[in-house]
């Protein structure tokens, strides 16, 4: 809905510019269709990269308005460069000036109107939870961040709904009747089953009827994924992994070949675009620190095969003479120019060569060092599952979680990595690539 509103505001800005600069009441379709479509695409893409389509963002905040103005200014800069390289463009500069002057006000006004209407018309979705325990408490905390109303499916005035077969009188019929009464009273939009719930046939039939009446019925791990974009490893078991939907992408030869072709195309394009920076980076490293320009390190790849990852060196030579250690916040082993490279992720550029060689993919779980993998496999369940696909230059964990440098961080990143593997698709990869630009521009997650 936000995207439709933004597109409409941009089209209105184009129409205003036509009326003011052409001097006629022409509609957009009369020679300006491609400009209107291009403006909508480019500006809304910038809005996405700068996180303006985050549903939890306050549309009335000054920060939102500032980001809209910044994105329009970036678009205006690109058009100005276009006039520099193509000075004989048929379209006048005044046309684009009117478009870019009117767009921010129209977009901000549209978003304020959307926020007011949404607040007046929308009611919080009700999530009915069947069961209890730490998993439910965690879900309740996460759901509150999304303005969802979580309620226990309970017997009126008597507390939470007991599990099937555990009523005071031992009657499963009473439990089913209580569940039916709870559903009728609370009218939830979503029903979530916690891992501790064991349903009898009557209760299951009641939930089936609810599902076919339009109520969404989910298990807790799936609901948790929808809200957080990661798997709740603490609250699922091997049986859930066996029956869960997804995890099929890497089993399809055609899908994996398509992903590989996309990797080759993206890596080649970025290698070509970034090639002018490589000599400058090499000179900066040589001036700042003694040692080699490139740093090669063993990492664990697909099927736990070890390969040599290539990076621009950002740490002092022999910084791990006493053995491998986790990187730390403000790590004193990193020299000044290396810190700048890490800030903008430029030290990762040589990994494009790893992608071309087939060691890595453009998007996937980040490759870890063998010594740390061995340690993490012992302490974190299902850690080895992340090696089912090629590791990536960027990944779902990298755009959602800050830089991780401990076993606790590794566990959190694994939750995101397994969510990515379960829902892997080329469209998901495109989303991650776009969000990577946002992460780099926001200078997040680097050490």
pLDDT digits (tens, 9 = 90+) for 356-410: 999 999 999 999 999 999 999 998 989 999 999 999 999 999 988 876 667 888 8
* CB 108, CB 192: distance < 8 Å: no
pLDDT at residue 330 in the model: 61
DSSP, residue by residue, 358-404: TS-EEESSPP--HHHHHHHHHHSTTGGGGGGS--EEE-HHHHHS---
CB contact at 8 A, 421 and 247: yes
Nearest-10 crossing angle of helices 134-145, 220-228? 30
Residue environment code for 391-415, b if the CB has 16+ CB neighbours within 10 A, otherwise e: bbbbbbbbbbbeebeeeeebbbbbb
pLDDT at position 168, please?
47
pLDDT under 70 in the chain at which residues? 23-26, 29-31, 88-90, 154-175, 319-331, 403-405, 441-447
What pLDDT score was predicted for residue 328?
58
Instruction: Note the pLDDT of residue 157.
Output: 40
> For position 381, what pLDDT does the model report?
87
Domain covering 126-228 in this structure, CATH number: 3.40.50
Pairwise CA distance, residues 239 & 342, whole Å = 41
Pairwise CA distance, residues 224 & 135, whole Å: 10
Which residue ranges make up each domain of the chain? 2-121, 126-228, 249-441
What pLDDT is stored for residue 177 in this prediction? 81
How far is Cα 331 from Cα 412, in angstroms, rounded to an integer?
Answer: 22
Write down the pLDDT at residue 156. 42
Question: What is the distance of C-alpha 398 from the center of its chain?
Answer: 9
* Tokens (6 digits) for 54: 């985050």
């Amino acid at each position: 809905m936000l995207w439709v509103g933004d597109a409409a505001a941009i089209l209105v800005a184009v129409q205003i510019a036509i009326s003011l600069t052409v001097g006629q009441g022409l509609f957009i379709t009369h020679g300006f269709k491609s400009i209107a479509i291009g403006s909508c695409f480019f500006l809304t893409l910038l809005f996405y990269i700068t996180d303006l389509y985050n549903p939890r963002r306050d549309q009335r905040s000054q920060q939102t308005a500032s980001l809209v103005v910044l994105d329009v200014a970036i678009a205006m800069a690109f058009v100005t460069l276009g006039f520099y390289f193509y000075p004989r463009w048929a379209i006048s500069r005044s046309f684009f000036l009117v478009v870019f002057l009117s767009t921010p006000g129209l977009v901000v006004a549209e978003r304020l109107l959307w926020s007011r209407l949404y607040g007046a018309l929308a009611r919080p979705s009700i999530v009915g939870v069947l069961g209890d325990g730490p998993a439910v408490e965690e879900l309740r905390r996460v759901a509150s961040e999304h303005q969802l109303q979580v309620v226990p499916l309970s017997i009126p005035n008597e507390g939470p709904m007991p599990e099937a077969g555990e009523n005071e009188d031992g009657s499963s019929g009473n439990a089913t009747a209580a569940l039916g009464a709870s559903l009728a009273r609370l009218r939830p939009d979503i029903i979530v089953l916690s891992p501790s719930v064991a349903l009898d046939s009557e209760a299951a039939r009641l939930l089936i009827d609810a599902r076919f009446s339009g109520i969404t019925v989910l298990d807790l791990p799936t609901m948790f994924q929808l809200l957080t974009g990661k798997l709740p490893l603490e609250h699922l078991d091997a049986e859930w992994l066996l029956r869960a939907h997804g995890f099929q992408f890497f089993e399809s030869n055609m899908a994996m070949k398509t992903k590989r072709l996309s990797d080759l195309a993206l890596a080649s394009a970025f290698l070509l675009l970034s090639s002018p920076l490589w000599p400058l980076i090499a000179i900066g490293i040589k001036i700042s620190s003694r040692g080699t320009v490139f740093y090669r390190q063993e990492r664990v790849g697909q099927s736990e095969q070890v390969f040599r990852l290539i990076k621009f060196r950002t740490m002092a030579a022999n910084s791990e003479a006493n053995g491998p250690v986790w990187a730390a916040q403000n790590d004193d082993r990193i020299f000044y120019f290396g810190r700048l490279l890490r800030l903008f992720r430029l030290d990762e550029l040589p990994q494009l060569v790893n992608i071309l060689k087939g060691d890595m993919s453009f998007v996937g779980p980040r490759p870890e060092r063998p010594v740390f993998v061995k340690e993490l496999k012992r302490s974190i369940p299902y850690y080895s599952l992340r090696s089912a696909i090629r590791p990536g230059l960027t990944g779902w964990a990298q755009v959602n979680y800050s830089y991780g440098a401990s076993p606790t961080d590794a566990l959190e990143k694994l939750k995101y990595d397994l969510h990515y593997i379960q829902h892997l698709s080329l469209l998901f990869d495109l989303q991650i690539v776009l969000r990577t630009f946002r992460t780099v521009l926001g200078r997040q997650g680097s050490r």
